[in-house]
Structures are given as structure tokens and as C-alpha cells.
Structure 1
Amino acid sequence: MDRDSVPPGPPRPLTDTSRAVWLEREVTGDASVVAALLPACFEAYARVLHPAEDADGGPVRWDAAASWAGGAIHPRVQFRALAALRRGTPDDPAPWDEPPARGTLAAPQLRALCAVLARHTGRADDCLFCIWEGWGWLGGSPATGVLRAESAEPGGPPPSRDPAPPPLRAPPRELLDGPRVRLPWRDHLLLAGPLAAASEIGDRGPGYFFQQSPNVFWPADRAWCAATDIELDSTYVGGSAALVAELLDDPRLETVRASPRDPLGEHGDDVNGG
């Protein structure tokens, strides 16, 4: 196997959260705006819209929903406001079966996002990842999620032989009982690793892996910061104007411009009636 194609493995847990102090200082306490998710110090901002799903589990872009519903895509668009509109007929069903996922960006879009982010930092080899402490898969015995052991249970199926990356080796309690990154309204665990490891976080066990995108992540040089709040169906990114321009042009992602003062939540859509 080509060395470059080998998955990097999950990021390692950190019990020293000093590398996140700058983030704690920069985000605002106003939970109603984008600046509560990531710092307002960047040159430009973008919002990556999480795709909806069709009946076969395939991605459905928001612009397809807007075309069906007679709505508009704009920086403050909310999917629920789009879905409440209706231009079609009973013989013209909605193009989506499930609404966009909240709290995580699907793996294909996360990989596409990270491919762009990697070109706009000199430290793609050293990134920090915040994971909300409340995800259920983080608790367990001896550990679950990024800490789950890949071993067979008595009487159960043998361990998976797929090429999934190995679990973290750190003792789970060392992380779970350790300090937190304190952000407005949410506390997070802190992990570190290469940017490519962003796609290797999640609930892993014998024969399965449920990916969870980082809730906040940034490179060591702080060239950008990305955030996916647990209640939102979008991922916000702050960085250079060149980064945002590339995100807006990437056909793999559905992206709109954003601002630190943009409202969050389902009632911020002042175009589609949210």
C-alpha cells in the first residue's frame, strides 16, 4: 500500500488544554451569532451547508431543495425555512428524504473541506480538534469512540480485519476526567494530530465506524478555524479571503459567504420566511 494512502489514525488526546486558550479568549459569549462558534478575527468567513439525503442515502444539495420549494440560497438560509415552502405538486415529491445532519459534516464533504484547508496553512501536520464532551460514544468501559479497543467480545464476532486505523492507546479516564476547553455554552475534549485525522474521529469498534467531524478545529499556526456546533446543520470556517474564495468555488461543497455577526438557528432566515 502506498504510504500516502495509509489513514493517519485518530488524533491523540491532550490533557493540557493550553493550546486552546486563545480560542477560549476569542469567541464571544453571545450564543446567537457565528462569533460564538469561532473567533471574529479572520479576514473572511464561509458556511458549508451539510447535504440532505435522498431515499438511497445520497447527498442532496440545498439548491436542489430551493429549486423544488421556490426558495433562495443566501448567507442566512435555513433548511427548515426552505422545506416549509412548496412550489411543487403532489406528483413532484421533495428531492430529499432526510434533512441535513446536525452536529457533524458527512465524511466526503469533510475530506473535501480538509483538502482545501490544507492548502491554506503551513501546519497541516499539527492541528487541534475540540470534541463536545457530551457525545454518548465518549463514555463506556473500557472506552468508546476514539478510545474504543478493537478486540472481540466473548462469544462475539472476531475483530474487524478492515484497514480502519487503530484506536487511541491513551487510558480513557486520563482524557475523560481531565481539563476541558471551555467555550460558550459547551465544554470540549482536546485532541491533536495531522489535519487528515479529522476524518478518523468517531465511534469505532469491531467491524464498524461512525464518523464524527470535529466540533472545532484549527492548525497550529491559526491560519483558519472551522466549527460545527452540535445543533447546527452547517459548518462555519474563518480564514483568509483566498481560503474562502476557494471554498466558494469548490464543486464538492455547497458553500455561502458568512459573517461573525450572522445569526444562528432556525429563525435567522429573513428571505425564505424563517
Structure 2
Amino acid sequence: MMFSPCSDLAAAQWIVASDERWWDLVTLGPTGFPAYARLRFIPDPAYAGQSEREGACQNGALPDDALSESEQVRIAVEVLLQSANSLTEGYLLMWDGWGEDQFPTPVPRTPRVVTPGREYYLCKVSLPDLVSGAVEDSWSAETGHPMPSPAFIWPSDRAWCITADVDPHWAGIGADHAAIDTLLTESRLDVVQVEANEKLPFYQ
């Protein structure tokens, strides 16, 4: 199994049933993890009202060696699989707002996972195949489009969760302390710990 849409939505119930405020849920993930962090795709805003494009660019252009968001997320999944010793079978929630033509044909035929403010398709996935890029390649071959960024990624044992909404310039990560500590030292990524009651940054 590399990737398959799910008609049974039970695997996502722990997210739907979360008592987290919806905005916190879709940006930082469900409650209950010992530690949380942010994977910053671009640096945090330098001042209030800064545009995301300005924050992403150096001298008006993206750095030549900048990793895509997809590449950064795949590295994070790879680190979490190793450090958290989690199961390799996992799940994705894909935001339905990308448009049906962006999805393999069977996906929009399945029921949606509904949270306040967002609706998603649930898919089962091989996490090692996600890390290798094989899932994205298969998706693109079937649709003719790049695979949209998953909104949630987690292993079937729920050892961790990556949450990447379309609005923030970062992805939220919940895991145990050891896994978060390992992510903080991963030189390919810009990861910062989220402290209790921290005001999270957003671009204009």
C-alpha cells in the first residue's frame, strides 16, 4: 500500500473530536502531545504587517538552495519515523479546497472529514513512500498536477502529528520530547520549539 483514499473516517476521529479551538487545531495540531514545535518554511516576520513574499525572499528572490515546503515536510517525517520509532503506516488529511481536479479520481468520491472552517479527504499512506517522494510521483502521474501539501500527517499509532494549514508560513508538529529535540538539531530544517501560551507569528 503506497496511498489509498479512505471511506471509513474512523482513523481521523481523534482530530475531529479534539476540543482544541479550530484555528489552533488546524495550525498546530491536536492537543495531548508532550511537546510541540514549528517547522518554519521561511523565517518569521521581522515586523508587524510584513508580507510573506518579502519574508521569503532575499534581495528580491528565493535563495537558490531553498528546499520546497514538500521537501522540508518529507525530511521532518523521516526524522520523526526514526526518532519516535513509530509505525510506518500512516494517514493524511488533504484539504478539499485545492479543487477536485487536483486529486486522483477516487479521492473526491469519499466522505469528507469535517472540522469547523475546513473539510478534508482522508487517505491511508505508506510513510516511507511519502518520505522518498514516491507518493508525490504517483499522485502527479495520475492527476497531471503536483500533489497538494497534506494538512495533517500522522502514523497509525499517533506517536506524532504534522499539521500544515494553507495560511501559516510554518507547520505545527506534536510529538514526544525526544523526537522534538531531534528535530531541533536537524540542520536541514528550521525548527523552533513552541512554548506554552506563546503568541504564534503570522504574515500579513
Tell me how many residue pairs correspond in the alignment: 190
TM-score (normalised: structure 1): 0.59
**3-state SS, counterpart of residue 107 of structure 1:** helix
TM-score (normalised: structure 2): 0.78
Root mean square deviation, CA, Å? 3.1
1:106 matched to 2:69: yes
Deviation at 1:38, TM superposition (A): 1.1
Write out per-residue CA displacement over residues 77-132 of structure 1, whole angstroms, 9 at most, x where no aligned residue.
Answer: 43664957xxxxxxxx9445259xxxxx62321221111011113312x1010000
Deviation at 1:254, TM superposition (A): 0.5
One of 183, 186, 203 as aligned partner of 2:118: 186
State the distance in 2 between where 1:208 and 1:30 align: 32
State the distance in 2 between where 1:232 and 1:183 align: 18
Say which one has the larger Rg. Answer: 1
Tell me, yes or no, if the aligned pair for 1:131 and 1:216 is still in contact at 8 Å: yes
Aligned to 2:54: none
Distance 1:127 1:206, change over 3 A: closer
Q: Superposition pairs for residues 78-157 of structure 1, below 5 Å?
A: 78=45, 81=48, 94-95=58-59, 97-98=61-62, 106-119=69-82, 120-124=84-88, 126-136=89-99, 139-140=100-101, 144-145=102-103, 147=104
Aligned to 2:146: 210
User: Per residue, is there more helix in 1 or in 2?
Assistant: 2
Structure 1 unpaired stretches of 5+? 1-7, 52-61, 63-76, 85-92, 100-104, 148-170, 268-273
Q: Superposition pairs for residues 250-269 of structure 1, below 5 Å?
A: 250-259=186-195, 261-264=197-200, 266=202
Q: Which amino acid aligns with 1:16?
A: D
Deviation at 1:242, TM superposition (A): 0.4
Structure 2 unpaired stretches of 5+? 52-56
Tell me, yes or no, if the aligned pair for 1:27 and 1:183 is still in contact at 8 Å: no
Tell me, yes or no, if the aligned pair for 2:22 and 2:115 is still in contact at 8 Å: no
Aligned to 2:159: 223
State the distance in 2 between where 1:14 and 1:194 align: 14
**3-state SS, counterpart of residue 146 of structure 2:** strand
Distance 1:260 1:190, change over 3 A: farther
Distance 1:206 1:185, change over 3 A: closer
Deviation at 1:260, TM superposition (A): 6.5
Deviation at 1:237, TM superposition (A): 0.3
Distance 1:79 1:49, change over 3 A: farther
State the distance in 2 between where 1:262 and 1:248 align: 17
Aligned to 2:18: 26
Aligned to 1:151: none
Q: Which amino acid aligns with 2:184?
A: L
Deviation at 1:210, TM superposition (A): 1.8
